[in-house]
């Protein structure tokens, strides 16, 4: 791991940091290929949206880019993770709006997911642990991730991902990936207005699918709709697209549209 | 600040700690008077309940007590804060159940709230930011506190606390305190089965009020019920009991029952 904390090499932060005390911050995780963070502009856009939504002071875009380049340099593959927290203030939830933020920019090892996950697909289950609805936090990649940790702990042997539903019974996403289904020729993905992470790869998939004139719909998906789908796949910036082969006892093919979209985003992922 | 991290003096943790990465942990905050953490057994009980609920490995009770005594020693007043996280594992939400936890035991400065807050009371407002319903996280003092931070940021000048409601319109608690109302002679406090923090002082108040043969009800409270109450007060382990004098434009007295309960818990708080 190579990390810059507020621009200086380091690997630790104060226990008084609000990131540690309250999860008061946001993060970004992106794939790095040949020393380059992929989809940088899109990640930066979501990051800045997160800072605005949480009233976090955003660092300068140039500074962030320089630090990202510094930790990525010389790395053929890796994961670039940027964490921004509200820094150190006194005890209590009230933030000091003048306090400096804490910025951690790290290059982490590439996860080396088996290549067959992209070709042959993965098994998925439904999770009992809920993902909650919160209009201000919805869409953000913030540091409060206990819901995902709890859901991830439910995964049975052989399952690579778990799908999370909100209190109203709508499936929102996986613990670490967004979900798409193909149904009657249309591409559907859950509405993230109330909860979930607005994935950068999800955004790219929607854009490229529309460019291919596919019928794309951001809508509400239930367990039943997903179980009745023709194709299902998962997306995130590191995995790219993983076809889903099985959910509980329902089988799916690695379908034509899934493969077409995998082809359409090939420039934006780390090659196997 | 005096802090022991996993038993050794220190003030920083790895940025890879799951407390920092995901808010994957719990905490306790207690008042310290004459080197003694107050209501230790009750805090410990909630802490152990939190470790069980989140499948966190609990440290030994003796070890925790020794570390608490070590940081509290020689302090007339202070705040003892214990944080326990799931420690360091690789990137990703899946925990390594064999990994060591991270334990931070700190003595922080006493907040020195003005004494008049206990006698004269505080002004309170309703917050727009929601507190979400999550059956597994409900009641726990976990490290995902963005909802409270957002609500706290709403507070208008002159307001000391903000009340948070869930998606169904039930008022659950303040950002940092539990709420009680007195209505028709009965003492009412919100049900925390779906969200909120099961406050140690809240538990003590219920117990002592029952011992005084008061009619106590854990129930559902709406904005309207609270606005129509005869008395309102806030509780937590540091403030003890603060009477509420005003919510929005509604005034309340520092009532007889509030004072009676203040008297009944006087042994469990730091004297002004």
Beta bridge partners of B103: B84
Q: Pull the structure tokens for residue A75.
A: 């790395």
Chain A residues whose CB is inside 8 A of the B98 CB are: none
CA distance A136 to chain B (A): 8
Angle formed by the axes of helices A40-53 and A61-72, to 10°? Answer: 130
Q: Look-up: residue for tokens 């009230």?
A: A94
Looking at the partner chain, which of A130, A137, A148 has a beta carbon nearest the beta carbon of B146? Answer: A137
pTM for this one? Answer: 0.97
Chain A residues whose CB is inside 8 A of the B24 CB are: 145-146, 149
- Judged by DSSP in three states, A167 sits in coil
Angle formed by the axes of helices A200-211 and A40-53, to 10°? Answer: 120
B15 with A144: Cβ contact below 8 A: no
Beta bridge partners of B186: B183
B150 with A22: Cβ contact below 8 A: no
Chain A residues whose CB is inside 8 A of the B147 CB are: 134, 137, 144
B149 with A22: Cβ contact below 8 A: yes
Q: What are phi and psi of B254, to 5 degrees?
A: -85, 100
Local confidence pLDDT in tens for the 272 residues of chain B: 799 999 999 999 999 999 999 999 999 999 999 999 999 999 999 999 999 999 999 999 999 999 999 999 999 999 999 999 999 987 789 988 888 999 999 999 999 899 999 999 999 999 999 999 999 999 999 999 999 999 999 999 999 999 999 999 999 999 999 999 999 999 999 999 999 999 999 999 999 999 999 999 999 999 999 999 999 999 999 999 999 999 999 999 999 999 999 999 999 999 87
Pairing of strands A25-33, A77-85: antiparallel
Which DSSP string do the residues of B147-201 spell out, in sequence order? HHHHHHHTPPTT--EEEEE-TTSEEEEESSSEEEEEETTEEEEE--SSSSB--HH
Residue whose C-alpha is closest to residue A229's, from A261, A184, A165, A162: A184
Chain B residues whose CB is inside 8 A of the A135 CB are: 130
Q: Is B2 exposed, middle or buried (0-12, 13-18, 19+ CB in 10 A)?
A: middle
Residue whose C-alpha is closest to residue A239's, from A146, A113, A51: A113
Chain A residue whose CA is closest to B136:
A129
CB-facing half-sphere around the CA of B20: CA atoms within 13 A: 31
CB atoms < 10 A from the CB of B213, how many?
A: 7
Pairing of strands B25-33, A122-126: unpaired
Chain A residues whose CB is inside 8 A of the B137 CB are: 146-147, 150
CA distance A229 to chain B (A): 27
Chain B residues whose CB is inside 8 A of the A150 CB are: 54, 136-137
Rg, C-alpha atoms of chain B: 19
Q: Are the C-beta atoms of A198 and A139 separated by less than 8 Å?
A: yes
Q: Pull the structure tokens for residue A68.
A: 């990202």
Looking at the partner chain, which of A27, A145, A147 has a beta carbon nearest the beta carbon of B134? Answer: A147
Chain A residues whose CB is inside 8 A of the B20 CB are: 13, 17, 19-20, 83, 143
Give the Cα-Cα-Cα angle A161, A145, A154 (nearest 5 degrees).
Answer: 40
In chain A, the N- to C-terminal Cα span, in Å, equals 22
Q: What is the pLDDT of residue B170?
A: 98
Looking at the partner chain, which of B17, B21, B147 has a beta carbon nearest the beta carbon of A134? Answer: B147
Residue whose C-alpha is closest to residue B87's, from B8, B20, B7: B20
Local confidence pLDDT in tens for the 272 residues of chain A: 799 999 999 999 999 999 999 999 999 999 999 999 999 999 999 999 999 999 999 999 999 999 999 999 999 999 999 999 999 987 789 988 888 999 999 999 999 899 999 999 999 999 999 999 999 999 999 999 999 999 999 999 999 999 999 999 999 999 999 999 999 999 999 999 999 999 999 999 999 999 999 999 999 999 999 999 999 999 999 999 999 999 999 999 999 999 999 999 999 999 87
Rg, C-alpha atoms of chain A: 19
Q: How many distinct helices (H) and strands (E) make up chain A? A: 8, 17
Q: What is the distance between the alpha carbons of residues B175 and B191, in angstroms, rounded to a whole number?
A: 16
Optimal mutation site among A78, A97, A132, interface B, most CBs of chain B within 10 A = A132
Chain A residues whose CB is inside 8 A of the B167 CB are: 133, 167
Chain B residue whose CA is closest to A111:
B91
**Residue B32 parent element (H or E):** strand B25-33
What Å distances lie between residue A15 and A7, A8, A152, B102, CA to CA? 19, 18, 26, 11
Q: What is the distance between the alpha carbons of residues A233 and A189, in angstroms, rounded to a whole number?
A: 10
Query: How do residues B13-69 score in pLDDT, each as one tens digit?
Result: 999 999 999 999 999 999 999 999 999 999 999 999 999 999 999 999 999 999 999
What burial letters (b/e) apply to A96-126, b meaning 16+ CB within 10 Å?
Answer: eeeeebbbbbbbbebeebeeebbeebbbbbb
Query: How do residues A54-110 score in pLDDT, each as one tens digit?
Result: 999 999 999 999 999 999 999 999 999 999 999 998 778 998 888 899 999 999 999
B54 with A146: Cβ contact below 8 A: yes
CA distance A2 to chain B (A): 11
A15 with B91: Cβ contact below 8 A: no
Q: What is the distance between the alpha carbons of residues A194 and A137, in angstroms, rounded to a whole number?
A: 8
């Amino acid at each position: 791991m190579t990390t810059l904390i507020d621009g200086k090499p380091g690997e630790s932060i104060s226990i008084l940091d609000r990131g540690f005390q309250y999860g008061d911050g946001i993060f970004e995780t992106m794939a790095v290929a040949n020393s380059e963070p992929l989809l940088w502009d899109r990640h930066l856009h979501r990051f800045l949206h997160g800072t605005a939504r949480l009233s976090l002071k955003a660092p300068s875009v140039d500074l962030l880019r320089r630090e990202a380049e510094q930790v990525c340099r010389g790395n053929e593959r890796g994961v670039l993770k940027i964490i921004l927290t509200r820094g150190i203030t006194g005890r209590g939830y009230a933030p000091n709006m003048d306090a400096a933020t804490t910025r951690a920019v790290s290059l982490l090892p590439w996860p080396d997911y088996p290549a067959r996950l992209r070709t042959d697909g993965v098994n998925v289950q439904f999770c009992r642990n809920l993902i909650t609805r919160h209009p201000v936090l919805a869409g953000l990649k913030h540091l409060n991730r206990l819901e995902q940790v709890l859901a991830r702990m439910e995964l049975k042997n052989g399952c690579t991902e778990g799908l999370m539903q909100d209190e109203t019974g709508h499936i929102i996403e996986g613990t670490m990936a967004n979900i798409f289904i193909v149904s009657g020729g249309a591409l559907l993905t859950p509405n993230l207005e109330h909860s979930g992470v607005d994935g950068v790869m999800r955004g790219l998939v929607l854009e490229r699918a529309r460019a291919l004139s596919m019928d794309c719909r951001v809508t509400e998906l239930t367990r039943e709709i997903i179980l009745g789908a023709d194709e299902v796949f998962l997306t995130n910036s590191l995995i790219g697209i993983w076809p889903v082969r099985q959910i509980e006892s329902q089988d799916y093919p690695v379908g034509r549209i899934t493969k077409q979209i995998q082809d359409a985003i090939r420039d934006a992922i780390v090659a196997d």
